[in-house]
Copies of this chain bind each other. A is one copy, B any other.
Amino acid sequence: MNREEIMMRTSHPFDDDKLHEECGVFGIFGHPESAAMTALGLHALQHRGQEAAGIVSYDGADFYAHKAMGLVDSTFSKHKVISKLKGHAAIGHNRYSTTGEASLRNVQPIYADLALGGFAVAHNGNLTNAAAIREDLVNKGSLFQSSSDTEVIVHLMAVSTKTDAIEKLKSAVNEIIGAYSLVAVTDDMLIGLRDPFGIRPLVLGKMGGAYILASETCALDIIGADFVRDIEPGEMVVIDKKGLRSLQPFKSTHKRFCIFEYVYFARPDSFMEGHSVYEMRKNIGAVLAKESPVKNADVIVPVPDSGTPSAIGYSQASGVPFELGIIRNHYVGRTFIEPTQQIRNLGVKLKHNANKAYLKDKVVVLVDDSIVRGTTSKKIVEMVKAAGAKEVHMRISSPPTAHSCFYGIDTPSQEELVAHAHNNDEIAKMIGVDSLAYISVDGLYQAVGEKGRNNDKPQYCDACFTGDYAVELVDKIAGCSSSKKKVSLGAKMLVSIDD
């Protein structure tokens, strides 16, 4: 499956069988058109969050905000919107809604009027002790306006006794636990911060005299900025008129970057932690071809579009021709808001069609990046078989997804993960393939340049495959989660919004 799939899901969940990144962030300081640059950056990061977008800019005196549900382009392509977002500094955020509570008040960046002045912040990730902190703050008189984790951070700053913004923020982030990369703008500073494990990405760029922070390097490319380096795990950077300072607000820990960014989340044209994402995916395909070859295979067919780089890697490693055996319809947009039953039943056919000439009587190797619930895989396989394929073999460029993620990725509950309760053969049967193989955990580590997984001190966060959670799950253990619903102390607030 692919990003267009993601795009679809948010509007009509016929089918959605991928994990999704929940947010993208962008920040810039020192550019006269900071808001336009931010809109472009968010456009390039659209795959990390499609439900809503927001920008806050700052001109040295005042803050300006605009947020809306919908894609970045539809919100920020209008001149009159951008022209109101004045100033030389701005931060922006793409949001992928995880629950029904996709209301505007949860859209980031969040702005707070602290005693020392305005403060705007946006983050990518998830706090694992937000609910606990929130309950404590509410009991002391804090009024929360959203169900967003981010608001916990600003309330912690508001009640902090420190007297400047950096110290207030340091104090706040030392109380929170989680996987997050944040950008903030306050009294003539842009701040960037990555959690101690560096689970979520954050990169630094430069364009002329302006500094840029972004979730991925593709957001630097779109505006023509140069990539400088990754922000380090646990590093806080403060950018102002004097330049950039690097601070270390946390006690040191070791890096565990999310390995699934390589598999699926990131754009293939991005570089992460020194690697080309496209190259990593091709490497994964090559390892997969070696680990799980298919005898007498005629064609390697990607499940478009996310399976394509791995399929090319698999094809080149195996020598079996790569063909577009499944054709995407480019016009599956966000508009099937009220599908007729007839249209709903078609499911996958609205988006894909079998390229019969290259499937009929062939031994087909389908390459996809992951299987979550298995629902879409089943339909894809049916379509390929209906087109006359002799055999269908599925190869997956990640290990089985058997555990939920609590670090800013939208995952179904563990019960819905097909690999949680079923072994390989059962899944193969369910989706109707002649054979099914996943890359091994060690194979995946090798593809990204390691000798294998160091089980004593794993080099990456791979909790979704291994269940080994890098960051403590405070709220989950306590039985509540601010990321899923608002703390309910007897009452719940449900806000409806006009369509």
Copies in the complex: 4
Residues of B contacting A316 in the complex (Cβ-Cβ under 8 angstroms): 321
Asked whether, in the complex, the Cβ of B342 is within 8 Å of the Cβ of A33, the reply is yes
- Alpha-carbon distance A64/B493, docked complex (angstroms): 6
- Alpha-carbon distance A84/B77, docked complex (angstroms): 25
- Alpha-carbon distance A321/B269, docked complex (angstroms): 18
Residue among B159, B327, B350, B491 making CB contact with A43, cutoff 8 Å: B350
Q: Is A469 an interface residue (CB 8 A)?
A: no
Residue among B46, B67, B117, B327 making CB contact with A490, cutoff 8 Å: B117
Residues of B contacting A343 in the complex (Cβ-Cβ under 8 angstroms): 36, 39-40, 77
Interface of chain A: mostly helix, strand, loop or mixed: mixed
- Alpha-carbon distance A77/B331, docked complex (angstroms): 13
Residues of B contacting A486 in the complex (Cβ-Cβ under 8 angstroms): 113
Which residue of the partner chain B has the closest CB to A186?
Answer: B491
- Alpha-carbon distance A79/B441, docked complex (angstroms): 46
Q: Which of A354-362, A394-402, A428-436 contacts B (4 or more CB under 8 A)?
A: A354-362
Within 8 A of B (CB), among A40-91: 40, 43-44, 46-47, 50, 58, 61-68, 71-75, 77-85
Known: A141-B159, A335-B73, A355-B269. A493 touches B111 (CB 8 A): yes
Q: Is A207 an interface residue (CB 8 A)?
A: no
Which residue of the partner chain B has the closest CB to A50?
Answer: B331
Residue among B77, B324, B495 making CB contact with A308, cutoff 8 Å: B324
Q: Is A438 an interface residue (CB 8 A)?
A: no
Within 8 A of B (CB), among A79-129: 79-85, 104-105, 111-118
Residues of B contacting A43 in the complex (Cβ-Cβ under 8 angstroms): 329, 331, 350
- Alpha-carbon distance A493/B56, docked complex (angstroms): 9
Q: Is A250 an interface residue (CB 8 A)?
A: no
Q: Is A221 an interface residue (CB 8 A)?
A: yes
Residues of B contacting A142 in the complex (Cβ-Cβ under 8 angstroms): 141-143, 158
Asked whether, in the complex, the Cβ of B63 is within 8 Å of the Cβ of A330, the reply is no
Known: A43-B350, A46-B329, A355-B269. A491 touches B61 (CB 8 A): yes
Q: Which of A2-10, A193-201, A459-467, A473-481 contacts B (4 or more CB under 8 A)?
A: A2-10
Distance in angstroms from A399 CB to nearest chain B CB is: 24
- Alpha-carbon distance A116/B73, docked complex (angstroms): 42
Distance in angstroms from A448 CB to nearest chain B CB is: 14
Residues of B contacting A80 in the complex (Cβ-Cβ under 8 angstroms): 338
Residues of B contacting A324 in the complex (Cβ-Cβ under 8 angstroms): 268, 278, 308-309, 312
- Alpha-carbon distance A324/B439, docked complex (angstroms): 22
Within 8 A of B (CB), among A122-150: 138-139, 141-145
Known: A222-B349, A278-B357. A66 touches B337 (CB 8 A): no
Residues of B contacting A61 in the complex (Cβ-Cβ under 8 angstroms): 490-492
Residues of B contacting A44 in the complex (Cβ-Cβ under 8 angstroms): 329, 353
Q: Is A279 an interface residue (CB 8 A)?
A: yes
- Alpha-carbon distance A116/B353, docked complex (angstroms): 42
- Alpha-carbon distance A339/B187, docked complex (angstroms): 30
Residue among B33, B63, B327, B331 making CB contact with A72, cutoff 8 Å: B331
Known: A324-B308, A335-B71. A65 touches B113 (CB 8 A): no
Residues of B contacting A81 in the complex (Cβ-Cβ under 8 angstroms): 496, 498
Asked whether, in the complex, the Cβ of A7 is within 8 Å of the Cβ of B337, the reply is no
- Alpha-carbon distance A495/B40, docked complex (angstroms): 20
Residues of B contacting A160 in the complex (Cβ-Cβ under 8 angstroms): 141
- Alpha-carbon distance A492/B118, docked complex (angstroms): 7
Residues of B contacting A159 in the complex (Cβ-Cβ under 8 angstroms): 141
4 shortest interchain CB distances as A-B pairs: A276-B357, A118-B491, A141-B159, A74-B335
24 A-B residue pairings within 8 Å (CB atoms)? A3-B330, A7-B330, A36-B340, A36-B342, A63-B494, A65-B495, A66-B496, A77-B339, A79-B338, A84-B496, A104-B104, A105-B105, A113-B144, A113-B489, A113-B491, A115-B138, A116-B489, A141-B155, A141-B159, A143-B154, A218-B327, A268-B327, A268-B355, A309-B324
- Residues on A close to B: CB < 8 A? 2-4, 7, 33, 36-37, 39-40, 43-44, 46-47, 50, 58, 61-68, 71-75, 77-85, 104-105, 111-118, 138-139, 141-145, 154-155, 158-160, 187, 218, 221-224, 267-269, 271, 276, 278-279, 305, 308-309, 312, 316, 321-324, 327, 329-343, 346, 349-350, 353-358, 486-487, 489-498
